[in-house]
Each structure stands twice: as structure tokens, then as C-alpha cells.
Structure 1
Amino acid sequence: MTLSTLQDKSVLVLGLGASGLAMARWCARQGAQVTVADTRAAPPQLVTLQSELPGVRFVSAELNAALVSESGAELILKSPGLAPAQLALLTAAAKMGTVPMGGELSLFAQALEDLRQSQAYQPRVLAVTGTNGKTTVT
């Protein structure tokens, strides 16, 4: 799925911390119909989500197979802070229904690919990853 094809697609974002909010913003700005799900009733970025993106739907729910079918998701984006055990049933359901899954990096990679195809833009990317040290490196 290219970013240009996010227009009017149903996107399910899992987790509403900093990464979840960033993915919801990006997808909404690309014209997607976004639902954000979190197991917490009042996740840290809920007020910001509701004020910045009033068209984005928020649900407080267990992350399970029912969430995928109820949301009608055509793309699932997961926050890196979610425990793999939390996602096991949901991941299995997504695979059975062939719903693609990704995260912030997959959105970034797709944006670069779209730019390469549409504008012959081919930047070199240096990525600093990991849990510790990014602030002091950058």
C-alpha cells in the first residue's frame, strides 16, 4: 500500500503514546480513516489526539482479533512500546485476514519509496536505533 493509497483507507493504530499519535497524525493527513486503540482508558496522548484530530476515532479495548474485524482495518500500525504478548492474537488474526501490519518505520520507508517513484528522490538514510543513546548521538 502506497501512501497515496491511504486516502479513504481504514487504518488501525495500536497504542496511543508518542509513536501512536505520530502515526495517527500522518495517516489522517494522508486522508485515511483512522481508529486508534489502546488498552488504557486514558492514554497519555488522548487529549492531544482529540484536540488535533477530531475526526480520528479512539477506542479503549483489548488488542484482539475482534478489534481487527470490528474496525474494518485495511492496515494495522503498531506502536513499538506494545508487548509482543499483547499483540499475539491480533497479529495472528491480521495474518489470517491478510491485513498488512507495520509501524513508524514502515510509514517512513513507504514515504521514501513514493518519493523515489514520483520524483526520482533517492536520499541516503542514516538511522540511529535502539533504546539508549539517541539523544546524545543526535
Structure 2
Amino acid sequence: MGMPVSTGNHIPKESRSLISAVILLLPVLVIACIDIVLIYYQFALAPSVDVNNLVPSAALTNTAWVLDKVVIGGGVVLVVMPLQHLFLTQSMGLFILSAGGLAVHLATSFIVDQAVVTPFIASKALNLFS
């Protein structure tokens, strides 16, 4: 009978911290999915077709610009997330997941050649928006 009575819509502190930690982990998962798609384009589709001649240079330039922003922005997010999980949420499991996402992102930035991937993504974007 010594249990405190919960009134209203108050969420316990443990649940709030878990919910905020999961929300903070979502960008890591999105960036990791983008990295997996880039690696897929690099190895599965690149040797098969020469797409450079089919895509206008403006589309290639715009796609390369967007990919650069994804690489740089994703890198910044993935550097901040492990530090945030380490110091603010103090969750070692989420820290390890975020650090793993950072390692995947760094490996992707070294593995993926922008000159190979950009024409495929640009052609897919042209097909999607045309």
C-alpha cells in the first residue's frame, strides 16, 4: 500500500528516457539505411550499365551535391549521437549502436565511389520525378 498513486498522463522517468533514446536513435538508423543503399548501388549495379550518357549533367551535379550533404550531415549526426548517448542518456547499448552506425558510415564514405553511384541515383530520381 506504500505505492505512489499515478494521476493524469504522467509517464515514468524510465519510460521517458527510453522513449527519448529511441527517438535519438532513429537518425542513426536512417543514415545506416542510406549507407546500405549506396553500397548496394556501388557493387550490384555499377558494373552492369553505363548510365553517365543517359543522365543530363545538371541532374548529376545536383545529385552529387545532395550526396555530399548526406555524407557530411550524416557524419555530423553520427558523431554527436554516440556522445549524446554516452554522456546524456548514459546508455551503453545505445552508445554501441550509435558508434556502430558511425563506423558503417565512415566505411561507406571510403568504399563508395561518388562517380559510380551518382549516375544511378540521378537516373532513379529522374524516373521518380518525371
TM tier, shorter chain?
Answer: under 0.3
Structure 1 or 2: more helix by fraction: 2
Q: TM-score, normalised by structure 1?
A: 0.26
Q: TM-score, normalised by structure 2?
A: 0.27
Task: Compare CA radii of gyration and give the structure with the larger one.
Answer: 2
